[in-house]
Chain A
Amino acid sequence: MKKLNLTRNTVILAVVLLLIVLYPLLGAKPYHLHLFILFFIWAMVASSWNLLNGISGINSLGNIGFMAIGGYGSAILAKTFGLSTLITIPLGGIIAMVLVTLFLGLPTLRLKGVYIALLTLIFADTLPTLLTQTRAVTGGAVGLHEIPPFFAGAGKIHNYYICLAAFLVMLYVIHRLIKSNTGLAFVALRDSENLATSLGVSRFRERLKVFAISALLSGLAGGFYVHSLGDISPTTLAIEPFLMGIAMMELGGIGTLFGPVLGAAIIVFGSEFLRLADVLRMTILGGLICVTILFFPGGLMQAFRKLGNLMDRRGKRKRGESVQAKVQSAD
């Protein structure tokens, strides 16, 4: 049964990926390319956020802040110092990583649950104030504009492929991380701190690690954000993007690899599509999230898994195999 499931999922994934790669070549409108770029960036943010909230069970409300630090860092380095984006984007990520590990990773070692959420929220919330107070460097409330593109003369189509590649690489890295010993240690600490430490997992080391990795990846996403869109301002840290990020994780399926990606797709494309509904846009999205969480607390990934299992069982029944066999062998 497992094998069948795997091949079906692989086929679906391959087809979707192929369509995404070919899409710009089939004469897509610039506006649609723009939407896809937003999707790639949001998928990166939601996936790196999920490392903290889903995989490690540490309630972070600060990842939009991490992203903004990376974005601002990269933008300032590129605009003011004229450095290549090949250097500024990684540097932006590293700046985010260092700041977050020092100012959030270390203090949260003494905190639990909702208090971590509060601290990370305060961290992200002080950023707009800091940004408006440092106008000379960050452009203040107006923000930074005309940020250099990835390379001179880069157009939408280039941005599309750069962000797609970054997104795929990041997703692969996260996939490998989750399956590694480090990823297992994150999950172990989430599920039972006592048990995890009794097996040799250091809470101190792993918690700093997950903050560092999540901030680095969110910061990198911020870099891709500023160089493909060309501007960033403190409104990036407003309540709406923040809620969207959380909604992506919850809607898609927190703690899973593809959940945040799926959530990002639905929120980005859905909210554009729902512009037709004007003021009702957020209400409809909010309703969708409520319904999903009510029926599938594990998000849409859980719904899909249930559907997949159902189809497998149907298929087996048709082929005359025993459905009971699996149940019995589980005893």
Chain B
Amino acid sequence: MFEIKDLCSAYGDIQVLYNIDLHIDEGEVVALFGPNGHGKSTLLKAISAVHPARSGSILFKGQEIAKTPAHKIVELGIAYIPEERFLFPDMTVMENLNMGAYNLNARKSMAENLEFVFDVFPRLKERRGQLCSTLSGGEARMVAIARGLMCNASMLMVDEPSIGLSPSMKFAVFEAIEKVNREKNLTILIVEQEIEHALRMANRMYQIRKGRILFERKADEIDVKEIEKAYF
């Protein structure tokens, strides 16, 4: 369903990603691990075309999308939930959700998606009129994920959803992502540092190091020690 071949990405003269190969099947949850500054977020930005790749190919549902501009990617069905600056602070919760359904493909099924989102995050229903700059860290994360769900995408890319959250909030956020995958059969690519949490739901994982894919493992052959070793 989704396949990256030989992808390279750079910021100016500094190359960050080298010859990335990666594939995701439909309905699969794939985790991406790796130390900070080794290219995980850059890969997600390359896929969403926020920072387009230098070279390489990205196939999504059989279509080449490496040259597609960012605002068209979401319409094709890939939603991206960034790690930093992920909400519009001057908008209310509801307005942020509306922005999620901005693309034409999502507008049609907005009511239905909204119902699902409020079912997953009942707290947001209470707070839909509140300004996002006044939300707590956990609630803000929920809004970001909810907005990603409003995109009506078939694949969700989540960049470190648990960063900076309390343990109980982390748990709630992961539970929500799991529920989304289970009930909507969404394909999910998740970048995380909370390896234990992420591994509970991932079908497969990739380990990134210095901009290269170090190894790939299926859920039943994952060795946490091996991952830890790759970090240091």
Contacts and interface: CB of A to CB of B under 8 A. Distances in A.
B225 interface: no
A235 interface: no
B88 interface: yes
Nearest to B44: A198
A196 B102 CA distance: 10
Contact of A198 (B70, B88, B104, B136): B70
A34 interface: no
17 contacts: A185-B99, A185-B102, A187-B90, A188-B88, A188-B102, A192-B85, A194-B85, A197-B50, A197-B69, A198-B48, A198-B73, A199-B103, A200-B74, A200-B103, A202-B69, A202-B71, A203-B71
A241 B71 CA distance: 39
B136 A331 contact: yes
Q: Is the interface of A mostly helix, strand, loop or mixed?
A: helix
Nearest to B50: A194
B75 A200 contact: yes
B10 interface: no
A187 B89 CA distance: 10
Interface string B63-104: 000000111111100001010011011110001001110111
A195 interface: yes
Interface in B175-229: none
- Closest A-B pairs by Cβ, 8 of them: A200-B103, A197-B70, A200-B74, A194-B50, A202-B71, A197-B71, A198-B80, A200-B102
A302 to B, nearest CB: 13
B173 interface: no
A181 B107 CA distance: 11
Contacts of B103: 199-200
B134 interface: yes
A270 B227 CA distance: 69
A293 interface: no
Interface string A240-257: 000000000000000100
B102 A195 contact: no
Interface of B: 48, 50, 69-75, 80, 82, 85-86, 88-91, 95, 98-100, 102-104, 106, 129, 134-136, 147, 151
A15 to B, nearest CB: 26
A255 B88 CA distance: 14
B153 to A, nearest CB: 10
Contacts, number: 71
A199 to B, nearest CB: 5
Given A187-B91, A330-B135, 11 more contacts: A184-B99, A184-B102, A187-B90, A192-B88, A198-B71, A199-B74, A199-B100, A199-B102, A199-B151, A200-B102, A201-B102
A298 B89 CA distance: 15
Contacts of B88: 187-188, 191-192, 195
Interface in A173-193: 181, 184-185, 187-188, 191-192
A29 interface: no
A191 B89 contact: yes
A46 to B, nearest CB: 20
Nearest to B126: A329
Contacts of A318: none
A319 to B, nearest CB: 23
Contacts of A112: none
A2 interface: yes
A57 to B, nearest CB: 11
Given A2-B129, A187-B88, A198 B82 contact: yes
B151 to A, nearest CB: 7
A121 B134 CA distance: 37
Contacts of B106: 200
B99 A188 contact: yes
B136 A330 contact: yes
Contacts of A192: 85, 88
A184 B96 CA distance: 9
B85 A184 contact: no
A187 B102 CA distance: 13
Nearest to A2: B129
A181 B71 contact: no
Interface string A27-40: 00000000000000
Contacts of B100: 199
A187 B95 CA distance: 11
A202 B72 CA distance: 8
B82 A195 contact: yes
A196 to B, nearest CB: 8
